[in-house]
Structure 1
Amino acid sequence: MGLLLTGKSKSTAVENWGMGLFLVFFSEDSPSAIADHNKLFPSSSSSSSSSGRRSNYNLLSKAQSTISVCALLVFVSLLLFTLSTFEPAIKMNLTPPRRLLSRKSTPIEIRTPSVNCWNWFRKMWKQKPAVVNTMTGSMAALQRMGTLYLRGTRAMADLTVVHVPEDVREDDFRLFLRLFHRSGVTAKSDSVFIFASLAFSEKFGPIIREENESFLKLLHRSRNSNITASRSAVAGFDVNQFVKIKEKKEPEEPIWGKKRKRFTNDSGGGEDELKRLSYGSVVSFDAAEIDPENSLSGFSDRITMSLRRWACYPMLLGRVRRNFKHVMLVDAKSSVLIGDPLGRIRNKGTESVILFTNKHTKKNSEKSHNLVNPAVVIGGARGVRRLSNAMVVEIARALMQHKKNSVSDSAVLSHLVNSEFLLKNVKVIMATESIPDASSLAGVDSGSVGSLSVPEKTTILQRSNHGNLREINSVILKKICSSEIDSSVYSDC
């Protein structure tokens, strides 16, 4: 059939010759013609077809690469254009990781830069700055957690942990904090406040900052003054306990807050450069940060701060176990410090724990038992951490047995102390005296400010829920304001 088409094309006009050739090569009815042609020229046809396929494959791969590069450039251009022109405020809930104290997620406002998109990319690769609490503007205290209110002059060997109950009044907390600074505890100890929630932290945070500022003013003014206060009075202030002889080597840096490249104690000044002021750091944490899962919540409908704090201690003390030798646990509502109780434990072992008691006799037993006062616990860091671990276990067991919310930490702590096998790894030392009540101070009942005094070597006072509690606070504040230097420091004098 191919031959007939070719012959026909010869008998026709010359312009039809090309059409005849076209029909011969692409005709569907004559495959034999193509086979004959291949038999006549086998080498030329195979070489031309292989070279054609190779060239076509190279062209196709190059085309695909070119298209891919073009598509990538278009995508990047669109992305950069979007980032450089998009500038709304985006609110999103950023939930921190589990180790960052599972605080309730709060809306954080994030703005994307609008000047230059390349600046935004450069900032992403830079080192992250210190974490700042967006609610208070304060620096994080430890491992992106907590709040740093006051950075101390050096690293301390002791730690005081103060838990703030939910029902404490602002006036009571202010008086506790003021006497806390004046007692001399902060001269050798860092201070950590544990709040029940973020709301309480925001409520009492300004009080902590105000009292810290007043404390620093009192330090410098008392140091530069020739007036000395008597330590025998409740409200007396002795600046000498905050003065430390300058050491040859630089002091170690506190663990709280952002690390400095070179830490120097610049709290000195004045005439004598060999003497420097020394005081510890003041920080705070929320219970939701240290105990993110609320370990005791599954055993009761409502866990008060007096119980939950025992679940917070193991996490906190575990993180700082290499930094502190002695620990004191204090209740901000039921007690005030007028001295440094940590002096009792500094010559004891790390497993030792000192507890204070109130005498109490059970009706069902002839044996007299000691009802332990959980407001103040003093001991070595290892002993206090072991005691807190045992307390968490016993509180959970008591809640499961009673099925009520009436479990008190005093009853659980007393049960641990009176059981011989529950605290085998803790050396419990029972104090010979109980904590005196603040209403027993001489001169309080009569309202005489000048006669306000306490027994010798008394460092702790207990504030009971008596009707004259406000009166006692008023008398102590009047005593503080009777000093010329103190009245110029505190705004409520």
Structure 2
Amino acid sequence: MNDLIVGHVIESVTEQELRLFLRLLHRSSLTSRSDLVLIFSSQSDIAIFKSVIEEENESFSKLINRSREVNGSFASFDVTPFVKSTKKERDWGEPIWGRRTRSNYSDDGETESTRLSYGSVVSFMADELDPENSLTGFLDHVPMSLRRWACYPMLLGRVRRNFKHMMLVDVREVFLLGDPLSRLRTRSPESVHMATESTNIKHGKKNSAKTQSHSVSPAVVMGGSRGVRRLSNAMLTEIVRAVTQHKRKNPVTDSGLVNQLVGNEFLLKNANVVASTEPIPDASSLTGSNSNSGSSPLSLSKYTIFRRGNSNVDITSALMKQVCSLEVDSIVYSDCSKPK
């Protein structure tokens, strides 16, 4: 595969939230050219979520096989990106995560020139990528949102020659509906695209109006492999610098630090960082700010990516309900047939 998606799983993620992330990622067709690596905080987390990952991988295999059986006549899923020529497949060689797993699709529907193919899904504990827990000497408590930056140097350094583009995402916060990397594939390996998010700021006076402020979001970072590696290395240095400079162990956030970093051209002189001029849409953009999860269908067709945000919309239930309303999806996903 040409691209790599690295998702970090923060401590508060539920099984249903991880399931939704995986389901939407597979349906987005990103896994037709990307491998996925999930970083968990502990071995116990992997044990809890293992069945979710296996179930979603198996259901996705059923989805593309069933969709291919009917020649893509189901409008809910396009199998075309996953159909590869066997000649190109031989040129790829074996994947870096282990031996290639073949589709269990019956040979009756395949020809000698095509085969179904999609990327690997791999999990690591943070201790495997950051065995010394590097930030513990600087912070009393190291949340996954910060520790992930200490995990990236080993992971991204090891695979730097295997992938052209990379994406770092917060599994709970970010939903992938399409291919946001498509706009970056013609840019330089040093390029990095940072999404922005809008926040409401209320002024001190009573009854004063709120104003919107835009800042860079650490929930999604994407770009050329070289640029993403350089930014992640700089971010780890920035975390240590911020803590030691103030000589205290107060909590720091990756949101505040990544905005400081992006604003410092000297620290990122080796990476071409571009912040989006439009904020990444959140759940309220899909349903309307006054809507609830059951009021109306979600408007997903125009988005490739959006975030959960601080909306009171139960976006997890709303998205699951919409996926289950699609004919082929309702057949292959077992939870769609369970009583609500």
Tell me the TM-score normalised to structure 1 length.
Answer: 0.61
Tell me what 1:284 maps to.
123
Pairing of 1:443-454 with structure 2 (within 5 A): 445=292, 447-448=294-295, 451-454=297-300
| Equivalent residues of 2:138, 2:249 under 8 A apart | no
Tell me what 1:415 maps to.
260
Could you tell me which amino acid in structure 2 is paired with residue 295 of structure 1? S
Which of 321, 325, 349 aligns to 2:160? It is 321
Which of 209, 226, 236 aligns to 1:392? It is 236
Tell me what 1:352 maps to.
191
Q: CA shift at 1:405, angstroms?
A: 3.7
| Equivalent residues of 1:371, 1:411 under 8 A apart | no
Measure, in 2, the Cα distance between the counterparts of 1:361 and 1:169. 27
Measure, in 2, the Cα distance between the counterparts of 1:446 and 1:197. 32
Could you tell me which amino acid in structure 1 is paired with residue 84 of structure 2? K
Which segments of 5 or more consecutive residues in structure 1 lack a partner in the other structure? Answer: 1-155, 231-235
Q: CA shift at 1:237, angstroms?
A: 2.3
Q: Name the CA shift for 1:229/1:441 in 2 (closer, same or farther; >3 Å).
A: farther
Secondary structure of the 1:454 match is: coil
Secondary structure of the 1:433 match is: strand
Pairing of 1:424-463 with structure 2 (within 5 A): 424-442=269-287, 445=292, 447-448=294-295, 451-454=297-300, 456=302, 458-463=303-308
| Equivalent residues of 1:193, 1:285 under 8 A apart | yes
Identity across aligned pairs (percent)? Answer: 54
Pairing of 1:88-107 with structure 2 (within 5 A): none
Which of 302, 312, 325 aligns to 1:467? It is 312
| Equivalent residues of 1:268, 1:276 under 8 A apart | no
Q: CA shift at 1:158, angstroms?
A: 0.6
Secondary structure of the 1:453 match is: coil
Tell me what 1:206 maps to.
51
Larger-gyration structure (1/2): 1
Which segments of 5 or more consecutive residues in structure 2 lack a partner in the other structure? Answer: 204-211
Q: CA shift at 1:460, angstroms?
A: 0.9
Q: Name the CA shift for 1:439/1:248 in 2 (closer, same or farther; >3 Å).
A: closer
Could you tell me which amino acid in structure 2 is paired with residue 486 of structure 1? D
Secondary structure of the 2:92 match is: coil
* Residue 175 of structure 2 is aligned to residue 336 of structure 1: yes
Secondary structure of the 1:178 match is: helix
Tell me what 2:208 maps to.
none
* Residue 100 of structure 2 is aligned to residue 256 of structure 1: no
| Equivalent residues of 1:268, 1:275 under 8 A apart | no
| Equivalent residues of 2:135, 2:240 under 8 A apart | yes
Higher strand share: 2
Could you tell me which amino acid in structure 1 is paired with residue 152 of structure 2? Y
Pairing of 1:359-374 with structure 2 (within 5 A): 359=198, 371-374=215-218
Q: Name the CA shift for 1:257/1:383 in 2 (closer, same or farther; >3 Å).
A: closer
Could you tell me which amino acid in structure 2 is paired with residue 284 of structure 1? S
Pairing of 1:293-308 with structure 2 (within 5 A): 293-308=132-147
Measure, in 2, the Cα distance between the counterparts of 1:453 and 1:193. 28
Measure, in 2, the Cα distance between the counterparts of 1:267 and 1:218. 11
* Residue 5 of structure 2 is aligned to residue 165 of structure 1: no
| Cα deviation digits, residues 372-405 of structure 1 (max 9, x gap) | 1010101111111111110011001112234234
How many residue pairs get aligned? The number is 323
| Equivalent residues of 2:74, 2:328 under 8 A apart | no
Q: CA shift at 1:468, angstroms?
A: 2.5
Q: CA shift at 1:476, angstroms?
A: 1.8
Q: Name the CA shift for 1:395/1:477 in 2 (closer, same or farther; >3 Å).
A: same
Measure, in 1, the Cα distance between the counterparts of 2:270 and 2:310. 35
Which of 103, 107, 127 aligns to 1:269? It is 107
Bigger relative contact order, structure 1 or 2 (CA pairs below 8 A, ≥6 apart): 2
Measure, in 2, the Cα distance between the counterparts of 1:194 and 1:483. 31
Secondary structure of the 2:175 match is: strand
Measure, in 1, the Cα distance between the counterparts of 2:295 and 2:236. 45
Could you tell me which amino acid in structure 1 is paired with residue 162 of structure 2? N
Q: Name the CA shift for 1:381/1:257 in 2 (closer, same or farther; >3 Å).
A: closer
Tell me what 1:90 maps to.
none
Secondary structure of the 1:247 match is: helix
Measure, in 2, the Cα distance between the counterparts of 1:265 and 1:169. 29
Measure, in 2, the Cα distance between the counterparts of 1:218 and 1:346. 28
Q: CA shift at 1:225, angstroms?
A: 1.4
| Cα deviation digits, residues 47-105 of structure 1 (max 9, x gap) | xxxxxxxxxxxxxxxxxxxxxxxxxxxxxxxxxxxxxxxxxxxxxxxxxxxxxxxxxxx
* Residue 223 of structure 2 is aligned to residue 379 of structure 1: yes
Q: CA shift at 1:191, angstroms?
A: 0.5
Measure, in 2, the Cα distance between the counterparts of 1:211 and 1:453. 24
* Residue 42 of structure 2 is aligned to residue 197 of structure 1: yes
Measure, in 1, the Cα distance between the counterparts of 2:285 and 2:137. 41
Q: Name the CA shift for 1:258/1:238 in 2 (closer, same or farther; >3 Å).
A: closer
Q: CA shift at 1:173, angstroms?
A: 1.2
Secondary structure of the 2:107 match is: coil
Secondary structure of the 1:279 match is: coil
Measure, in 2, the Cα distance between the counterparts of 1:379 and 1:205. 29
